[in-house]
Amino acid sequence: MSHPHWPATQDAVRADIARVGASLFQRGLAHSTAGNISVRLTAEQGGGFLITPTDACLGFLDPAQLAWVGEDGGALGGARASKTLTLHRRIYAATPDAHCVLHTHSTHLVALTLQGVWRSDDILPPLTPYQVMKVGHVPLVPYRVPGDAGVADEVAALIAQARRPLRAVMLERLGPTVWHDSPGSAMALLEELEETARLWLLTERRPDPLTDAQVDDLRSRFNAPW
């Protein structure tokens, strides 16, 4: 896949983004042209970010057409960057250990915002140990038109104000945005969050959350972010 306009060290990253996009699409976690994926590049990889193009289908990404942008957001190569680039860049600026940002319109999570979330600062109660260990708190970001730069300001403020490190936010009526140290880790976080929303919606009698003592135990044993 090596190309004269980017370092060969980008090849594996580009392939990984396409692999994750295809996996999400094939399993119904992404659909149509909704959703986007970005990766923060190291200096060896050319620096800046790779991000999926605007209106691209995650199931059929062309690694060579991924948008490559600099730290300032300026285009360095590839197709036109997703309109959510500003949000991705703000998340990276606020979260130094984040190396991948992933956004989808996952069905059960969007349905949760239509039905009504648990609380605005936590869209779901602590229901399962892996939700507590792998996901943590997920606040709701009130609806704005897709691509609205104001969302980036709100998410950056939520990250700064959080008592424990955030790994995800939920955009009302649009879907989750999650971040982690790699595309694979971000995908796993998204899967856990979507599955928890599905369990919550499928349970006619709302289950009791884990107790404070149970959550504290998960924190002490597994460094849970909740």
Question: What positions carry a catalytic annotation?
Answer: 130
3-state percent helix, strand, coil for the chain, nearest multiple of 5: 40, 15, 45
CB burial readout 99-121, b (16+ within 10 A) else e: bbbbbbbbbbbbebbeeebbeee
Enumerate the H helices of 73-179 as residue ranges. Answer: 85-94, 107-115, 129-134, 149-161
CB-facing half-sphere around the CA of 76: CA atoms within 13 A: 20
Cβ atoms within 10 Å, residue 162: 17
**Joined tokens for residue 17:** 């983004």
Q: Which residues contact 149 (CB under 8 A, 6 or more apart)?
A: 86
CA atoms of 215 and 218, how far apart (whole Å): 5
First to last CA, the chain: 40
**Joined tokens for residue 151:** 């969302």
